[in-house]
């Protein structure tokens, strides 16, 4: 998880070209343990940028280099805020998704943002229109 935090922070920092701070980490679900001696692969990508914050999607695999197979270990979402020289939040460049997978992550990022802001006490549930639409049919 320490490596995941570093990979995610590097990805966010490269995207915005500035120092970043971790604002939140969503729940991490482990599908399979990575065994001692196996190689760890971590892919971190900014899935969507908002005003001053960015969501980073992480995929983690283990690799058994002797028997030559890779297996999915876990996925996670981290949120980082870009900081100006006074350590205040600064605006970030938007993400333009290209592949189908990137588009899915981009679209769903808005609902994940709403959920984490509600849980963090920064948004009223009534204002989370896209999240509410998942549960409430007109
Ligand atoms: C994260 C932090 C920079 C937010 O600062 P703030 O003064 O609350 O600023 P704002 O309310 O303007 O929020 C700034 C951005 O953070 C986002 N944010 C705030 N709380 C959040 C949370 N719980 N989850 C996700 N994003 C959050 C806001 O949505 C906003 O993003 P946006 O501009 O894209 O909409 C500030 O709370 C902080 O420094 N926290 C400590 C971080 C830390 O120590 N991390 C290390 C952990 S080891």
pLDDT tens string 99-123: 999 999 999 999 999 999 999 999 9
Instruction: State in Å: Cα 122 to ligand 1 middle.
Output: 9
Q: Is the pLDDT of residue 30 over 80?
A: yes
Nearest atom in ligand 1 to 54's CA: 34
Q: What percent helix, strand, coil does the chain show, rounded to 5?
A: 35, 35, 35
What is the model's pLDDT at position 28? 86
Closest ligand 1 atom number to CA of residue 113: 25
Predicted local distance difference test score (pLDDT) of residue 35 = 93
CA 79, CA 100: separation in Å to the nearest integer? 22
Q: Which atom of ligand 1 is nearest to the CA of 23?
A: 1
Q: With a cut of 90, say whether residue 29 has pLDDT above it.
A: no
Number of other residues whose CB lies within 10 A of the CB of residue 81: 22
Report yes or no: 77 and 49 within 8 Å, Cβ to Cβ. Answer: no
Q: What is the pLDDT of residues 33-74, one digit of tens each?
A: 999 999 999 999 999 999 999 999 999 999 999 999 999 999
| 123 Cα to the center of ligand 1, angstroms | 12
User: What tokens appear for 27 in the block?
Assistant: 């729940």
59 phi and psi angles, rounded to 5 deg? -120, 135
Mean pLDDT of 1-14: 96
DSSP helix/strand/coil, 39? strand
């Amino acid at each position: 998880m320490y490596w995941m935090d570093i990979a995610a922070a590097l990805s966010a920092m490269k995207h915005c070209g500035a120092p970043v701070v971790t604002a939140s980490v969503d729940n991490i679900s482990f599908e399979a343990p990575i065994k001692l001696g196996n190689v760890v692969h971590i892919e971190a990508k900014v899935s969507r940028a908002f005003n001053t914050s960015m969501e980073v999607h992480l995929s983690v695999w283990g690799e058994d280099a002797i028997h030559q197979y890779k297996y999915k270990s876990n996925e996670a979402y981290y949120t980082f805020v870009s900081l100006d020289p006074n350590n205040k939040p600064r605006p970030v460049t938007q993400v333009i998704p290209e592949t189908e997978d990137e588009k899915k992550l981009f679209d769903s990022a808005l609902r994940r943002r709403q959920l984490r802001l509600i849980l963090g006490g920064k948004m009223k549930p009534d204002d989370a229109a896209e999240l509410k639409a998942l549960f409430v049919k007109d």
